[in-house]
Each structure stands twice: as structure tokens, then as C-alpha cells.
Structure 1
């Protein structure tokens, strides 16, 4: 039996909010927040380890002024109905609460080539701080949904997680449902935050990971779980972990793990968690401007009851 492939740790230096998408062409496509927060880059490689040294293609840059001129955060790449889409957050100023969600589109076969067209802002049911849009296709109904983080008037904190149906890859429609808000002790350290959602449907379940608390060593991940045959807009269908499922590991020198996504190993038979974490605890200044949140990957395991078991960051792959 062949030994399992191991992955570099960290995989890519100074790339926070990572997203790795494996396409049907066999290539992995990578994007993440760049330390300058000034644009969107995409890398392409035939295997995950090769992403580290793959050429970064800067496919879009921030505007000189206006609502997309500051702090370009957390891009993620998807292939939907024959076209490529990148979802990202941008602001009109350095005030983070100015952030809104935007989409660009490319119909080239290879997203590192071709022309990226701006599809504009994703308009939600109210206008407020919003970021970290992700999308998934519900297996049973084949309906596409958007999940994102947004601030809501009357609810204490920076952001809650919401879900809505999608009319097309840049437009939601109908009811906007809250799935979770920061309310547990580990979700409310420094800031009251639920953000960075990612979705994996597997083993008859829908798993939704998210990140919570301030972006220092307190940053950690929670988990929502629903049955695959549920109505995703029914908030009662989602069961919330009462403890973090992925958090700082002092023994493995990984601090503040979070903002995850899912991909698969090259053989396609195992799932991987992609996330960022620092290798030290103490940070000088604002954690958002510390560039050393590195992209990392490790294997996911599942219990006999279907539970997702993430283990500890840095516990091997």
C-alpha cells in the first residue's frame, strides 16, 4: 500500500483566508487575501504542494476610489455553469465596517487567463457591513445558496451568518435567514464575530464551518451540521457545536486557526481542511495587519456517526 502524501506545513506563507478549488481539469486553483489587501491573485498547479511555488496571477486590482478601493479581503473562487466566479469583500475606506460583498466573472477555461468582468455588489436584504460570501449547490434540490457574514441592527456584535437562495451567481432572492450569531464564550473574545463560512456536503450531512472571535490567538472555528435532505433555509435544521471544533494548538505552534475551506487530496478519496494560522502568539499592533497568517492543509476524519473530526491544527496530514 502506498504511503499517504504529506503536505507542506505551512503550505503557502503570508496568505490568509485561503481558498483551494479543485476543478474537473485536474488542476488546483488557489486564492487568498494578499498582505497588501490590494487585489485578487490566483495560482494554478497540478498538485497541492506545487501551489507554494506556482506563479501568482494578479487578476483584479482595487479601484482608485469608491466602494472597492480599500482592504480587499477573503476572495474565493468557484466554477458555476461553465464560468468562473470570485467572491470577495471590499471597502470604501479603511473603516472595516464599510465592507460589502462583490463578484467578478470570467468565461475562460483557465481563470488565470481571460478577462474578469465585474458583476457588482451582492445586495442583501439590508445594507450593512458584509463579507465572506460563499456558495454551495444543495445536493438534493440542486438549488444554489449563498452563505455570508453580516451585521444586523439590533443584534450586538460585528457579524452573524446568513443564508439565502441564489437567482444567479451574483444575486440572492427571497428570504434571508440567520443561521448563527456569536453568543458562546469562545465566539465573543475581543469581538463578537461569526464569519468565514465554508460548506461540505458528505455522508448524508451538510457541514458548515465558520470562524469566531478576534483574529489573534483567540480565533477559532465552530461547526453547524444539518441533514442533507433538510431545507437549508430552516434554521432549526442546523445544529451548532457548543465548543470550538478547531482552536489554537500551543504544542504544535499554531495560533488562531480559522477561515477555512474544503478541498480533496490528489486521488480524490479524502477531504482536506484548508485554513490559516500563525506560528506565534504575540502580535505587535493590529492583528489584521500582521502578515503571517499562513495557509495550511490537513486531512479531515469522520466518526462512525458521521461527525466531522478536525483534530488539532498541525496534527499531521
Structure 2
């Protein structure tokens, strides 16, 4: 069994970790929310000290000039794609920030190269706050799953799924898979966001995060048979309780916005997530930099995945409010 040391990357929230051709590629939200970064390593434990490259920076003005959130790197049809959310206006001018979903493409074999091209916004039937796009190709069909605000539904965001015509264009009407409805999904904010896909033994599991980004943040799960119609909401069942949450005994608070990868020997599924190791936050939790990227091994039971508890830290972490440079030194 692989032994991992947490955190795997300091001060990178909304982590995304992809294994491809024996290498791990890591990206996540930078605490300044102004860039998209990428790291490459052969071992998960080596990611913190891997060189961090800046692949793209926010625009000076316009729709992609604020709050670059939650980039994900995907390999689709022989090309690389990065899905991310960006806004135009600052907080305070709207009930919700003006985030929409965008796509970058790179046809070079190396995602660390500088061949990234903007493919534009992913347009949805409702032009509203939308973010956290993730994608998977299942039986030859590419699906997009994301979070979006429906003005007719109470809360900040629900989860939707649609087929794709190409990696930046929807091919079907969005179908709502989940909305905030249980008490644990509605603490501070009514939120379903950050979907991630895990497949095992003919089933598809979609995890997601709910509630405010502080201590209440937790992970829920949707389940469907891979052979079912994934665009039919009745194909999906939803956990009534969180499947991954704060563990006070391990000093891990608000775990969430996870993704999945596999171990170095491909024998284990691995959950990747962010969490803090303290509860006192000055100001908005969103702007506290110490949501560090962490991992845990997924165990499998007859009724599905067991994510256990977020493991305690066994590596140094910065002090409250301390912001680090990519090399690990303070600014």
C-alpha cells in the first residue's frame, strides 16, 4: 500500500491531479486567483517540490479578469484541455460573482508547453453563475458535469450534466442531478459544487462539495450504473449524509473540492482534496490561503467507496495567513 505524506502541495485549493504516461500533473486554484499553474512529478509525494509553471494568466479586463478558480487538466481525443471558471466583476457588485466556465486547448504532446489556446466560454441555456466543470468520456461519449445557479431554485448552485459536441460545446440540454436540500448541504451557503467522477465495477460515482468553504465544507456522492442513461436523473441516487467531512481528531477542517487519481503502481484509487488544519479564519474563508492539497487512499466495499477520514498532517505547514511562493519561501 502506498504511503503518502500530507499535505502534498501547500496553498493550492481545488486540487486536480491527473496521471498520464507515468507522470502526475497537478493544478489547482492559486491563492491570488490570477493564474493557471501546472506541476509535473513521477511520485505524488514529490509534487510539493516540483517546478511550478504558469500556463495562463487572467486578462487585464473583461470576463476572464477576476477570480480564476478550480482549473482541471484533461486529455481528450489526442489534445489537452483545461477547464476553469473566471469572473469579470469583484465581489459585492452582485449577489453572486459573475463566474462562467472557459476552456483552453493544447494540441502539443506536452501539457507543460506554451501552446495553450483559448477556446472560449462553455455556453449553457441559462446565462448565470457557473463553475467547476469536470468531464469524462464514457462509452465513447463525452459528458460535462458542472455547478450552476438557476434563478428559479433557492441556493447558490446545483449540479448539472450534459453531453458534449466537442470539448467546449454542449450537445444536449443540461439535466439537474442534485441541488442543496439536506441540512449539511446548506450551512452558511446552499451549495452543490466541485463534482468529480470515479468509476469502479460498472458504477459511476460523482462526488461533490456542499456548504460554505470553511469548517462545514463536506463531500457528498451521487451513484449510477454505467450502463444506465446518465442524462436521466432517475438513474442517480444521492447520499443523505456526507461521505467525507471534517475530522477534529486529525485537525482537518472543511475537506472538499476533491478529484480522483490512481497510485504509482495503479493498484489503488486515490482521493485528492483540500482542507485546512485550523478553524480560526480572519475574514472570508475563501481568501484564507491555507487550503492545502492532500490525498488519501480509497477503500472499496460492497456498497461502494470508503473515503475514510482526512489524514493528519505529517509535513510542515505555514502559519495562519502566511502566503508562500511556489518555491516554498514566504513572499
The TM tier, using the shorter chain, reads over 0.9
Question: Is this contact kept in 1: 2:207–2:222, CA < 8 A?
Answer: yes
Aligned partner of residue 172 in structure 2, secondary structure: strand
Cα deviations by residue, 1:44-82 (Å, 9 ceiling, x for unpaired): 111111111110100000000000000000000001111
> Is residue 107 of structure 1 aligned with residue 114 of structure 2?
no
The Cα of 1:175 is off from its aligned counterpart by 1.7
Q: What is the TM-score of this pair, normalised by structure 1?
A: 0.96
Q: What is the TM-score of this pair, normalised by structure 2?
A: 0.92
1:220 aligns with 218
Runs (4+) off by over 3 Å: none
Supply the RMSD in Å over aligned alpha carbons: 1.2
Question: Is this contact kept in 1: 2:252–2:312, CA < 8 A?
Answer: no
1:10-159 aligned at under 5 Å gives the runs 10-23=7-20, 25-95=21-91, 96-138=96-138, 141-159=139-157
Aligned partner of residue 175 in structure 1, secondary structure: coil
Aligned partner of residue 35 in structure 1, secondary structure: coil
Aligned partner of residue 97 in structure 2, secondary structure: helix
Between 169-178 and 286-295, the greater mean CA deviation after superposition:
169-178
Give the one of 297, 302, 306 matched to 1:309. 306
- In structure 2, C-alpha distance between the alignment counterparts of 1:231 and 1:302, rounded to whole Å: 24
Question: Is this contact kept in 2: 1:149–1:194, CA < 8 A?
Answer: yes
Question: Is this contact kept in 2: 1:203–1:306, CA < 8 A?
Answer: no
Aligned partner of residue 104 in structure 2, secondary structure: strand
2:325 aligns with none
Aligned partner of residue 67 in structure 1, secondary structure: coil
1:169-188 aligned at under 5 Å gives the runs 169-188=167-186
- In structure 2, C-alpha distance between the alignment counterparts of 1:261 and 1:274, rounded to whole Å: 5
- In structure 1, C-alpha distance between the alignment counterparts of 2:173 and 2:121, rounded to whole Å: 18
Unaligned runs of 5+ residues in structure 1 are none
Question: Is this contact kept in 2: 1:255–1:281, CA < 8 A?
Answer: yes
The Cα of 1:315 is off from its aligned counterpart by 6.7
Question: Is this contact kept in 1: 2:84–2:101, CA < 8 A?
Answer: yes
- In structure 1, C-alpha distance between the alignment counterparts of 2:199 and 2:298, rounded to whole Å: 13
Aligned partner of residue 249 in structure 2, secondary structure: coil
The Cα of 1:114 is off from its aligned counterpart by 3.2
> Is residue 9 of structure 1 aligned with residue 32 of structure 2?
no
Question: Is this contact kept in 1: 2:6–2:312, CA < 8 A?
Answer: no
